[in-house]
Amino acid sequence: MERMFAAPFLCQMGDGHVDGVYSMAKDPGSLERFASGSGDGVVKVWDLTTRGEVWETQAHENMVKGVCWTPDRKLLSCASDKTVKLWDPYNSEPDAPPAASYLGNGAFNSITHHRNQPAFAVASSMISVYDLSRPSSSPSQTLHWPTSVDSITSVAFNQTETSILASTAIDRSVIMYDLRTSSPVHKLVLKLASNAIAWNPMEAFNFAVANEDHNAYIFDMRKTDRALNVLKDHVAAVMDIEFSPTGEELVTASYDKTIRLWDRARGHSRDIYHTKRMQRYETFLPLS
């Protein structure tokens, strides 16, 4: 009976983007707002209740690689054009100029905001931590593993143990940093590179990585010689991973065109959603 009523797909948001959506972020202070960044440099803010677009801007010149919200409900976006820009979607018109912009040395791949301090970290070939309260556009500190040079694909602040920062890089490493000593603490090298990292919001020391070898791994930060769990089911590289706010479930996005939902403690996915049904749906839309 439960399977008979299974209808996971609800809708698509507004008209979507013109180019691919490569980054999304939800507003931690709101249940219905989230932002998405696209391959053509456009950042849009969506409303879940109306399922429509509420704000839009041509934020960057090329691919927006990361977006995140600050605790005071402003939006940060970083892109491969070496800039980070601060936006105010709640109080400004669409296409308004950015409230601030920060320049970097390399193309940025990912951005994350500190839980309570006005600081954010962006990843290029190293991690630069910027202070939002200071007007200067140069980083207040930079972090990198002494021997690593490859570009860092994703970075995430721990939201409970707030000065811990973790990153994944193309050189297959997962590195943890501590802001208090402003130094890297631990490096874990896997067989293949990881694409994304997410901290468990309830168990501060656990994190999950989305790996190129079709699996996702959950690790304990304190004991990384063994994974807590291996999530096996995808048939292509896993591109993104996130814990549910309860920390009990995970969602992964994959290159095999599906998203999968997982129980934290089980090795195989609870459910798989794919866009086939969607595509059929789209053909019924009136073409403008």
**Span 220-239, contacts to other proteins by CB under 8 A:** 224-230, 235-236, 239
Look at the alpha carbons of 135, 136, 140, 146 in this order and tell me if their dihedral is positive or negative. Answer: positive
Residue 46: count other Cβ atoms within 10 Å of its Cβ.
Answer: 21
- What are all long-range contacts of 217-224, with beta carbons under 8 Å and residues at least 24 apart? 217/190, 218/250, 218/264, 219/174, 219/188, 221/164, 221/166, 221/176, 221/186, 224/186, 224/188
Q: Does 164 bind other proteins (CB under 8 A)?
A: no
**Applying CB under 8 A, which of residues 156, 240, 262, 264 lies at the interface with other proteins?**
240
Q: Residue 132 Cβ, how far from other proteins at the closest point, in Å?
A: 22
**Applying CB under 8 A, which of residues 114, 199, 215, 231 lies at the interface with other proteins?**
215
Nearer to other proteins among residue 139 and residue 253 (C-beta): 253
Nearer to other proteins among residue 126 and residue 198 (C-beta): 198
Q: Does 112 bind other proteins (CB under 8 A)?
A: no
Distance CA 242, CA 66 (A): 15
Q: Residue 201 Cβ, how far from other proteins at the closest point, in Å?
A: 10
Q: Does 213 bind other proteins (CB under 8 A)?
A: yes
**Applying CB under 8 A, which of residues 93, 133, 279, 284 lies at the interface with other proteins?**
279
Nearer to other proteins among residue 179 and residue 238 (C-beta): 238
For residue 22, the surrounding DSSP H or E stretch is: strand 21-26
What token pair was written down for 13? 């948001």
Q: What does the angle CA 251 – CA 253 – CA 254 come to, to the nearest 5 degrees?
A: 140
Nearer to other proteins among residue 118 and residue 247 (C-beta): 247
**Applying CB under 8 A, which of residues 20, 95, 105, 182 lies at the interface with other proteins?**
20
Q: Does 54 bind other proteins (CB under 8 A)?
A: no
